[in-house]
Amino acid sequence: MANRATAIATAPQLAMRSPDVVMRLRRMGASFPTRLSFLRTLIRRLASSGATVRRPVWSMDDNGFGDAVYTFRLGGHDYSLVAFSCPLPDEQRSDRVIAEAWDTSFVLYDGIPDKAEIERLRENAPRQEAGRFGPRDLVLSRANKSVRFFEHVVDSLARGRQPERDRLGEVGYLLRTTAVYGNGKFGIADRCVLAEREGLTGPFQAEMLTVWLIREFSHDLVEHVARRRSPETFVPLAPELRRHIGVGNSTGLGMAPFLANHPQLLNNWVFARESALARVRAKRYLDAAALDRLGDLWRQAGRHLDQWSVEDDALMARILGLRGEWAEAQAWIDPARLRVMASPVASLLERSQFMSVDFQELLAALVIELAGAENDDLADGMAAAQEGALQPGMRLAALRRLLRDHYGWALTIAFDRPAETAQFWYVSEEKLEPRLGRRAAEAGADLELPLDIARQVQRLAADLEDEAETQTVAAFLARFPQHRHAVRRIQMAAIAPYSEIRDNLLSDRCLPINMLRCKLAFFGASKFDPRSDRWTRITLFQGAPTRDEIAAGETDDCWLPVLR
């Protein structure tokens, strides 16, 4: 599907939503992907550069075990996905971080590997964390098969028919990644290697590129096994079904603290999204093409909700409620009414304040989609340089003002109540991954990570009470060095208003799943499928153009995928 740019009258940007509204965990846990999501940005870059993917190596046996290499050129550099598929006993197949073997493993390689490099990666990539990697290895990943669905697709194609649409809609992927590592982890290349390369400058672009190529590999792998099983009757995947098969992902607590540990980056992501929303809110009117597009997007979102079902009772209840609200509110977008309405988008968003938070965030994502390419420039500001530095020359009077203006929410929390300190964050010694413990029941609180932001701010506020307003931050911290972390975060808020999650991360009400969904929505994930309040399954690149479609000129029009 080609991207359909819609003509919308321009107007000044309105005020953005307050961080006190946006940065609450419950609302963050209602996030939906938008046009600014990282995988959407990647698809546009691939399309605009005319990227052509080749497969110079395909060495697979009849059962689909072996290796493959996909190569392409982007921004003047060659890149390759080196893929390995190995036999795996069912009892060893696990999505947990403690797993030591997987169906498939991958490396995004800087350049085009020769035979010696492929052999080196064959020895190390399947071992993942236990392997040895170097500066030409950009991203490391692994994935397991959705075994029953993979076999269903193989069997169907081998028998000359397409897979069942209901099963395809229910699962949506052949491979499910359990980790996608970048940024220097386990000896692979540091972020600085890619930071200035055209096409990969944005957040997580190399990781998204890896997942997109894994998707291509999964399509090729399932067709290869089916063709070898019955070459006389084999048929390839129909294009519309191939496009709907994305890549699954299992994500747990390891990702949750990222947003708290990277406040400047979090601010840049949210600031871009909220800027896009403020721009479209400011439109004085919608022309006929925009009204038609609004109706199309509304119906697409409704179909997506109808095709989104999960086992988690709490989320399923929210989805059912959202389906009802969405159908009920369709009367709001009557073209005859909106055509003559002043500031129709702002009116729709204001009216949504009487609906659920899920409805509000879905509508916000929809109107950003409605604006099309108008907001694409905002993606350029979503990467971050280094996190904000301490400003030692600031006077305490200014620091107090910032604390009051941006952290008033933290001062209201009663930390003398056990419920407000019920949980603590720590790093697992075994896998070096973040974990969340129950303070009353588990040991390890003495090794707690400093994610108690609100508590730190309260302690800082108490020590500031008797200090002179003219005193500098440097002088204050010389006597109270324990507050350095909190002071730096408060100073950052002056230029990064969306840098802080405005909730207590130690509270028994803190659900890590809300942080996971927020981050994954920025990645571009859909079909959130939580298996607890600490880990979830998602789908990436479902509905996105394949390599052949991008080569044929397809562009980015894959918001909230629907199996038609």
Q: What's the whole-number mean pLDDT along residues 285-311?
A: 95
Contact by Cβ (8 Å): 14, 500: no
DSSP tally for the chain: helices H, then strands E: 21, 11
| Whether pLDDT at 534 is above 90 | no
Q: How confident is the model at residue 389 (pLDDT cuts 50, 70, 90)?
A: confident
One-letter-per-residue 3-state SS of 81-128:
EEEEECCCCHHHCCCCCCCCCCCEEEEEEECCCCHHHHHHHHHHHHHH
Residue percentage of the chain with pLDDT more than 90: 79
pLDDT score of 9 more than 60: no
Q: Which residue has the higher pLDDT, 533 or 114?
A: 114
Question: How buried is 311 (Cβ within 10 angstroms: 0-12 exposed, 13-18 middle, 19+ buried)?
Answer: exposed
* pLDDT tops 60 at residue 91: yes
What is the per-residue DSSP string for 397-449? HHHHHHHHHHHHHHHT--TTSGGGGSEEEEE-TTT--EEEEETTT-S-GGG--
Looking at the DSSP bridge assignments, the partners of residue 474 are none
For the cut 70, the answer to whether the pLDDT of residue 525 exceeds it is: yes
Confidence of residue 4 (pLDDT cuts 50, 70, 90): very low
Q: Is the predicted pLDDT of residue 3 greater than 50, yes or no? A: no
pLDDT for res 196: 85
3-class state of residue 68 by DSSP: strand
Helix or strand (DSSP H, E) at 138: strand 137-145
Q: What is the pTM of this model?
A: 0.93
CA distance 66 to 224: 12
Paired tokens of 411? 């001062």
Contact (Cβ atoms closer than 8 angstroms) between residue 211 and residue 141: yes
∠98-101-103 over CA atoms, to 5°?
A: 125
CA distances from 356 to 162, 306, 317, 322, 327 (A): 39, 18, 12, 8, 14
Whether residue 266 contacts residue 259, with contact meaning beta carbons closer than 8 Å, is answered with yes
- The answer, yes or no, to whether residue 184 has pLDDT greater than 60, is yes
| Count of alpha carbons within 13 angstroms of residue 519, beta-carbon side | 25
Mean pLDDT of the chain: 92
Picking from 223, 207, 316, the residue whose alpha carbon sits closest to that of residue 541 is 207
What local confidence, expressed as pLDDT, does residue 385 receive? 65
| Domain spans, the chain | 19-30+261-384+508-524+528-534, 38-252+537-551, 396-493
Query: And the tokens for 355?
Result: 């609906």
Are 477 and 420 in contact, with CB atoms under 8 Å apart?
no
DSSP state for residue 480 in the 8-state scheme: -
pLDDT value for 254: 82
Residue with more model confidence, 504 or 441: 504
CB 71 within 8 A of CB 80: yes
Q: 252-291, pLDDT tens digit by residue?
A: 888 889 999 999 999 999 999 999 999 999 999 999 999 9
Picking from 73-82, 312-321, 372-381, 431-440, which range would have the lowest pLDDT averaged per residue? 431-440
Q: What is the pLDDT of residue 157?
A: 98
CA-to-CA distance for 532 and 547, rounded, in angstroms?
A: 35
Interval 130-149 mean pLDDT: 94
pLDDT of residue 233 exceeding 50, the answer is yes
Separation between Cα atoms, residue 419 and residue 224, nearest integer Å:
55
pLDDT: which is higher, 184 or 418: 418
pLDDT tops 70 at residue 80: yes
Q: Could you tell me the two tokens for 6?
A: 């819609």
What's the pLDDT score for residue 384?
A: 72
Residue 249 in contact with residue 539, Cβ under 8 Å?
yes
Confidence of residue 539 (pLDDT cuts 50, 70, 90): very high
**C-alpha count within 13 angstroms, C-beta hemisphere, residue 420:** 14
Beta-bridge partner residues of 434:
427
Q: How many C-beta neighbours within 10 Å does residue 115 have?
A: 8
pLDDT for the residue 12: 52
Rounded CA-CA distance 448/563 in Å is 45
One-letter amino acid of 541:
F
More confident residue, 38 or 99: 38
Q: What is the DSSP letter of 388?
A: P
Q: Look at residue 555 in the predicted model and tell me its pLDDT.
A: 78
Whole-angstrom distance, CA of residue 444 vs CA of residue 452: 15
Beta-bridge partners for 472? 395
- Cβ neighbours, 10 Å, residue 14: 17
pLDDT, tens digit, 9 for 90 and up, residues 417-471: 999 999 999 988 776 788 898 998 888 888 899 999 999 999 999 999 999 999 9
Q: In terms of Cα–Cα distance, which of 373, 378, 377, 376 is closest to 293?
A: 373
**The pLDDT of residue 185:** 85
Out of 148-157, 484-493, 500-509, 549-558, pick the least confident.
549-558
Report whether pLDDT(532) > 70.
Answer: yes
